[in-house]
Amino acid sequence: MKIKYLISVLLFVALGASSLQSGNNPKREFRGAWYPTVVNTTWKNMTTDEIKADIIHHLDIFKKLNINAVIFQVRPQADALFVSELEPWSRFITGVQGKAPNPLFDPSQFVIEECHKRGMEFHAWFNPYRVTSNKNEVLAPNHLYFSKPELFLQYGPQIYFDPGRPGSREHLKKVIADFVARYDVDAIHFDDYFYPYRLPYLEFPDEESFLLYHRADGFGRFDKNNWRRNNVNILVKELNETIKSIKPWVKFGISPFGVWRNNTVDPNGSESSSLQTNYDDLFADILLWTKMGWIDYNAPQLYWEIGHSRVSYAPLVKWWSKNSNGVNLYIGQSISNQLEIKNRNGDLVNQLFRKMEMVRNDSNIQGNVWWSGLSFENHPKLVDSLETNYQRYPALMPKYKNIDTIPPKPAYNLKYVKGYLTWSSPEFATELDRAVYYVVYRFGAGETINLENPSKIVSIIRDATKFRIDGKRGVKYVVTALDRLQNESIPSNSVSR
């Protein structure tokens, strides 16, 4: 077990740790990129090989930018971008819901494997309630909509699961449990879509389910909004329990809309005047979920600029930091709203420096998530800034203190053999003890080994015990082991070149 190694790890940290960062780059930082598929209009016209090439193209960009988590949308609309017996194939892979790729391939499995090859985590992004986006969509004949119509509602031009029906919740838990059990996923992820965003002059039509269930759930006749929030609360709590019961190391993260409540209606709210809020419009009480420890990370979508008249970035970052409740906090950043933002005078300004400074100088914030990762290639100036400055060196994941913080045993028997470093994997008692990643460090021949300097990281690799190195001489290497939560072992023996 890991516990007997804790004393030696603490001693090593006390003796060897110094600064936690090199220049602008912390040793640990979440650097996520959303990979949406609900906006995909091209895969349906591609061959399987072309789709795979398209995926690899974007993952290679992420790797170049030292992104360490890819949030891939596996369930855009009660469908599946993975092999499933519970829901039909997504139309975003072939253009027709229920139609499998030909030749058959599993997009999620492919992305998992390609992420892990690059040392990146795979976060499976599910939409809990949305079924269609417009009235013209055709559902597959085997869709649950036709066998259990009582679980669904139409709101405006769209169809949704009714969150007030226990059957809706049970189906979603079954879908996610199936995915967690069958795939080597690192996290389950929701974005901001819970109850749908309000449509003008149109109430969400859940009166029937409210009349059926509100008394049994402990709510009064005029307490519909609290009943709705409770429906989402139950889902989040039970999903976290479901995930952890299958694989305790799989994280559960949520990326809510950037405003919980405005301080004009609640003194605990943020300095904002948003037309929509999590609490009042989406019935998503994100603060309760963090207080109760039902989620492992929170990534509010703060896509606005500093100085926005209604939802300014700066006070919102401070508000979310103040209300993090000990849960890992990552800031959702807009790729398009960083370097060339028009201020009130019409001038183009650069806000990237100020935004990154706010994130990295706040001890309650552990990183960023970039929206949308597919648009990096359209913003070369931002790519250059991240590659050469803000994400210049690789970064380990932030620690998840509520799951596991004890590191694995160290790698050993490090050798140099014909252009490769090779080493032996440590023994482990449970899956939480297993070394999954390895970090390769390179130092000058006479340099003190300091693992807290990310500029010394050559690579973070997964499920491999060898690594090809260049022919540079007068250097020495060490390797550390990381478990699934990226807790880091003490270093191996060193090898000189």
The answer to whether residues 189 and 254 belong to one domain is: yes
Distance CA 330, CA 299 (A): 5
The verdict on whether omega for the bond into residue 103 sits within 30 degrees of 0, i.e. cis, is: yes
- Whether residue 15 has pLDDT greater than 50: no
Q: Which tens digits make up the pLDDT trace of 140-149?
A: 999 999 999 9
Backbone angles phi, psi at 426, to 5 degrees: -75, 160
- The pLDDT score that the predictor gives to residue 288 is 98
> Do 152 and 131 touch, CB atoms closer than 8 A?
yes
| Residues contacting 364, CB < 8 A, separation 6+ | 321, 322, 324, 329
Q: Which of 390, 425, 456 is the last residue of a domain?
A: 390
Q: Is residue 98 part of a domain?
A: yes
The answer to whether residues 290 and 176 belong to one domain is: yes
Complete DSSP assignment for 192-206: S-SSPPPBTTB--S-
CA atoms in the 13 A half-sphere facing the CB of 87? 23
| Region 295-317 average pLDDT | 95
- Whether residue 346 has pLDDT greater than 70: no
- The pLDDT score that the predictor gives to residue 368 is 98
- The pLDDT score that the predictor gives to residue 217 is 85
> Do 392 and 29 touch, CB atoms closer than 8 A?
no
Q: Compute CA 72 distance to the chain's CA centroid, rounded to the nearest angstrom.
A: 8
Q: Which position has the token pair 């929701």?
A: 190
Token representation of residue 98:
């229920």
CATH number of the domain within which 469 lies: 2.60.40.10
Complete DSSP assignment for 17-79: ---SEETTEESB-EEEEEE--TT--SGGGS-HHHHHHHHHHHHHHHHHTT--EEEEEEESSS-
Q: Is residue 400 part of a domain?
A: no
The answer to whether residues 325 and 421 belong to one domain is: no
The answer to whether residues 201 and 316 belong to one domain is: yes
Q: Which residues pair with 400 in a beta bridge?
A: 404
> Looking at the whole model, is its pTM more than 0.95?
no
Token representation of residue 89:
């194939």
Q: Is residue 15 part of a domain?
A: no
Mark residue 482 as left, alpha or beta (left: phi above 0; alpha: psi -120 to 50; beta: remaining): beta
Q: Is residue 343 part of a domain?
A: yes
| Residues contacting 346, CB < 8 A, separation 6+ | none
Structural domain count, the chain: 2
Residue 104 three-state SS? coil
Q: Exposure string (b/e) for 7-42, b if CB count within 10 Å is 16 or more?
A: eebeebeeeeeeeebbeebbbbbbbbbbbbbbebee
The answer to whether residues 362 and 450 belong to one domain is: no
Token representation of residue 78:
């009660």
Mean pLDDT of the chain: 92
- Whether residue 341 has pLDDT greater than 70: yes
Say how many Å lie between the first and final Cα of the chain, rounded. Answer: 34
Residues listed for the chain: 497
Q: Is residue 159 part of a domain?
A: yes
The answer to whether residues 213 and 260 belong to one domain is: yes
The answer to whether residues 431 and 313 belong to one domain is: no
| Region 438-448 average pLDDT | 94
The answer to whether residues 127 and 253 belong to one domain is: yes
Residue 427 three-state SS? coil
The answer to whether residues 78 and 31 belong to one domain is: yes
Distance CA 127, CA 445 (A): 51
- Whether residue 159 has pLDDT greater than 70: yes
Token representation of residue 332:
């959702």
| Region 348-353 average pLDDT | 84
Q: Which tens digits make up the pLDDT trace of 80-111?
A: 999 999 999 999 999 999 999 999 999 999 99
- Whether residue 254 has pLDDT greater than 80: yes
The answer to whether residues 59 and 161 belong to one domain is: yes
Sheet holding 437-444, edge to edge: 457-462, 437-444, 475-482, 495-496
The letter for the amino acid at 27 is K
The answer to whether residues 181 and 48 belong to one domain is: yes
Residue 114 three-state SS? helix
| Region 352-370 average pLDDT | 96
The letter for the amino acid at 163 is P
CATH number of the domain within which 325 lies: 3.20.20.80
Q: Which domain holds residue 279?
A: 26-390
Name the helix (H) or strand (E) containing 89: none
Q: Is residue 59 part of a domain?
A: yes
The CB density around residue 393, as the number of other CB atoms within 10 Å, is 18
- Whether residue 55 has pLDDT greater than 60: yes
> Do 132 and 193 touch, CB atoms closer than 8 A?
no
The answer to whether residues 289 and 433 belong to one domain is: no
Q: Which tens digits make up the pLDDT trace of 374-424?
A: 999 999 999 999 999 999 999 999 999 999 999 999 999 999 998 999 999
Q: Which residues pair with 130 in a beta bridge?
A: 160
Residue 488: DSSP 8-state? B
Distance CA 108, CA 74 (A): 7
| Region 55-64 average pLDDT | 98
Q: Is residue 110 part of a domain?
A: yes
The CB density around residue 50, as the number of other CB atoms within 10 Å, is 12
- The pLDDT score that the predictor gives to residue 298 is 98
Q: Is residue 14 part of a domain?
A: no
Residue 101: DSSP 8-state? P
The share of the chain scoring above pLDDT 70, in percent, equals 94
Q: Which tens digits make up the pLDDT trace of 450-474?
A: 999 999 999 999 999 999 998 788 9
The letter for the amino acid at 427 is E
Complete DSSP assignment for 378-430: G-HHHHHHIIIIIT-S--BPPPBTTTB-PPPPPPEEEEEETTEEEEEPPP-SS
- Whether residue 22 has pLDDT greater than 50: no
Number of H helices, E strands in the chain: 12, 21
